Amino acid sequence: MTFPTLSVYAPASVGNIGPGFDTLGMAVTGMGDTLSATLDPSLSKDVIERITGAWTTLPTDPRENTASIALRLILDRAGEGRPFRLVLEKGVPGSGLGSSAASAVGGAYLGNLLVGDIFSPQEILDAALAAEAGVSGGVFLDNISACLFG
C-alpha cells in the first residue's frame, strides 16, 4: 500500500522589528522552505530522507531538526504513531530570515495535513514553538508567528 506524499511551503521571515523585539515579525515573499512527507509504516522510525539547499549543515536526526520535531509533535497529539519520511528543501538563504522557524512551521503544518487538518492555527503555532524552543533553548515567536500568519 502506498501513502500520499503531501507538501507545504513555509516562507522566510524577518523578526525583531522595531520596539517589538522578539515579538513582531513579517513574512518575506519569494523565499522559503518546501517540506514533503508521507506516513510510511514500513519504516521502524521517523526518517529525514534528505535536506537540500541548506546554507550550513543541518541535523538529519529527526530528534534534532525543527521540521521533524514539529511534525512528530503534531502526529503524536493526533495519536498517529506511524513513522514518516521527510524531505526538506531549504529556500531560506542563511540566518536572520527565520530559517529554523520556517522549518518548524512547515513541519507542524504538514503534520496537521497528514492527520486530516484537525488542529487550529494556535495548536500548529504551539507545536512549531515547542520545536524551535527545543533546538534553540529559547522561546521566540517573532519568526514563527510571521511565517504562519504572514
pLDDT tens-digit series, residues 91-145: 987 777 888 999 999 999 999 999 999 999 999 999 999 999 998 888 778 889 9
Residues 43, 45, 46: CA angle, nearest 5 degrees: 100
Domain annotation for the chain: domains and CATH numbers: 6-149 (3.30.230.10)
Q: Report whether pLDDT(19) > 80.
A: no
pLDDT at 72: 98
Instruction: Please state whether the predicted TM-score (pTM) of the whole model is above 0.75.
Output: yes
pLDDT digits (tens, 9 = 90+) for 25-61: 788 888 999 999 999 999 999 999 999 998 888 999 9
pLDDT at 22: 61
Q: How far apart are CA 63 and CA 107, in angstroms?
A: 13
Q: How far apart are CA 37 and CA 99, in angstroms?
A: 19
Judged by phi (left if over 0) then psi (alpha if -120 to 50, else beta), residue 117 lies in left
pLDDT at 59: 93
pLDDT at 67: 97
- The CA R_g of the chain, rounded to the nearest whole Å, is 14
